[in-house]
Amino acid sequence: MSYKPKKGAIQPIVLYDQDNKAIDVSGIEELSSVKAELQAIKANQLSGNQKVTLSGTIATLYSMNFADRPLYTEITEPTVFVLMNSAMDMWWTDGSADWVVI
């Protein structure tokens, strides 16, 4: 005896894993919408239209003397050190690693 569905009837599809247990696919619609949203984000990034919001602060220290730059271990938040010379040399650290030239 074989089962023959009625024409146009929606038939459930059951997927099984390697242990022959049914896989729950009830969230497939949500995954589809997430995929669409990620595709839109990617398209905006590639076109240059992606909007972002930055939050937080970066402390800036200015000095005419390089010796005034504190040790990175003394820094507790993202910080930029600007040497007020003709080139306006700058370094950045968040306190977790040594200063980086920017």
Q: How does strand 79-83 pair with strand 59-63?
A: parallel
State the pLDDT at residue 2.
67
Is-contact 92 102, C-beta < 8 A?
A: yes
Model confidence band, residue 82 (pLDDT cutoffs 50, 70, 90): very high
Tell me how far apart the alpha carbons of residues 58 and 49 are, in angstroms, rounded to a whole number: 25
Residue 58 neighbours by CB under 8 Å, 6+ apart: 77, 78, 79, 80
What percent of the chain is predicted at pLDDT more than 90? 48
Is residue 8 assigned to a domain?
no
Does 64 lie in the same domain as 94?
A: yes
Beta strand residue intervals within 32-89, DSSP E: 59-63, 79-83
The Cα–Cα gap between 52 and 35 comes to 19
pLDDT of residue 25: 75
Phi, psi of 75 (to 5 degrees): -90, 135
Q: Give the domain range for residue 33.
A: 15-47
Total domain count for the chain?
A: 2
Q: What is the pLDDT of residues 1-46, one digit of tens each?
A: 566 767 777 777 778 888 988 887 777 778 888 888 999 989 988 9
pTM assigned to the model = 0.47
Claim to verify: residue 96 and residue 64 sit in the same structural domain: yes
